[in-house]
Amino acid sequence: MPTCPAPIRRLDTDAASELTATAAKLLTLHGSATSPALLADLPATCARLSEPLHRLLRPVDTADGLFVLRGLDVDDTGLGPTPGHWSTAGDAGALWDVTLLLVSTLMGTPIAWEGQQDGRFVHNIVPSPGHEGEQTGASSAVLLAPHTEDAFHPGRAHLLLLCCMRNHDGIATTAAGVRLADLSAGDVEQLTRPVAPILPDDAYERARNSGERPVPVPTLFETPDGLTMRYDPAYTPLEGADRAWREAYRRLGAELARVSVAVSLEPGDVLVVDNDLVVHGRVPFRARYDGTDRWLKRASVRVEGRPTRPLAEHDEHGYGQAALTAWAV
C-alpha cells in the first residue's frame, strides 16, 4: 500500500484563526460542545463566517473522494492525555469538537446516532483496553478493514470527517475510492444486485440486538456521475450469496486494496472522506495506554439532495437506529 498524501486544502493563518476564534466564542457562550443551544446556533454562526472559509470548506468534489484540510494548530501539551475510552473523554479537546462542528456545518448537516457514544455529534476515537481485536475505532492490534462508515444504515453520512488530535507514531488511515478501481461491467452488474445484508458493527449494541431481520442491499450503485459504494466486508455475511456474486465481491475487495493509499494525519489535520465513494480503515499498531496514543475526533455529515443512494434505501428499517440532526435535538 503506497503512503500517499491526499489532496490538501490549506487554511491560511487568518482563516484558521477565524475558525478557532469562532469556536472558542461558541464554547464560552454555551459552556459545552454538547449543548443543544450550541448545536442550534451552528447554522446562523456559519452564515456569518467569511466567504473564503465557505469556499474552502465545501464538500469533496473530485474523483479521489477525499482531501486533507490543513492549517489548524493543535497544542499537544495543552490537550491533556489521550483518553483511555470514549466514555471517559468528557470535555477533553472541546474546542476542537466545536471547530469540527463548524467545519461540518459549512459542508452540510452534522448527524449523530442515539446508540453510539451517547448520541454525541463528535466522537473520540482512541484505542481502548480490551477492544484491541475488534473491527471498531477502539481497536489497535488488527487491521481495521476498509469500510463505508455506518454501512448498515440507509441514513449513513455522506461525508466523514476525522480530525487529528495526536498521532505521535504516524499511524496511517487507509482510503480507497471505488471510482479509481478497475471493475468489469459484469462485476458491476453483479454487485448492484441486493444479495447480502450489512449488519450493524460492534459499536452499535442496541442495533445488533434489535431483532430486525437482515435486509440484502446493493454493494454498488450507478449514478449519472459514476459509481457509489456501500461496503463493509467485516459485517457482511456471505453464506447466502451465490458464487458469481461472491467472486465479484472478492474482486472488488482486491481492487480496493490495489488502489488503497495510507494517509498519516498530523495534529490539526482534518481528513474529509466522501462516504459514498471511499472506504476507509486503519493500519494495526501497538497501543501504550499511557496518555500518548493516537487520538482522533470524528464527525458525520449529510449533504441534502445528493443522488448517490438507491431510492429503495428509504424502505430499510435501519435496525432500529435513528439518526439525530444537530439543530433538531
Strand pairing category for 66-70 and 8-10: parallel
Which of 9-23, 69-83, 309-323 is predicted least confidently? 309-323
CA–CA separation, 49 and 51 (whole Å): 7
Q: What is the pLDDT of residue 208?
A: 86
> What are the phi and psi torsion angles at 178 (to 5°)?
-65, -30
pLDDT digits (tens, 9 = 90+) for 187-211: 999 999 999 999 998 888 888 888 8
Answer whether residue 143 shows pLDDT above 90.
Answer: no
Q: What is the pLDDT of residue 329?
A: 59
Q: What is the pLDDT of residue 97?
A: 97
What is the amino acid identity at position 128? S
Q: What is the pLDDT of residue 310?
A: 85
Classify the phi-psi angles of 226: left when phi > 0, otherwise alpha if psi is within -120 to 50, otherwise beta: left
Bridge partners for 206 per DSSP? none
What average pLDDT does range 128-133 have in this prediction? 87
DSSP at 45: H
Cell numbers 448517490 label which residue?
Answer: 308
Q: What is the pLDDT of residue 309?
A: 87
Q: How far is CA 146 from the centre of its chain?
A: 12
Q: What is the pLDDT of residue 205?
A: 83
User: Angle, nearest 10°, between helix axes 36-47 and 94-107?
Assistant: 50
Apex 299 CA angle, 126 and 289, nearest 5: 5
| CATH numbers and ranges of domains, the chain | 8-328 (3.60.130.10)
pLDDT digits (tens, 9 = 90+) for 67-126: 999 999 999 989 999 999 988 888 999 999 999 999 999 999 999 998 889 899 999 999
Q: How confident is the model at residue 326 (pLDDT cuts 50, 70, 90)?
A: confident
Reading the block at residue 93, the C-alpha cell is 479537546
Q: What is the pLDDT of residue 96?
A: 97
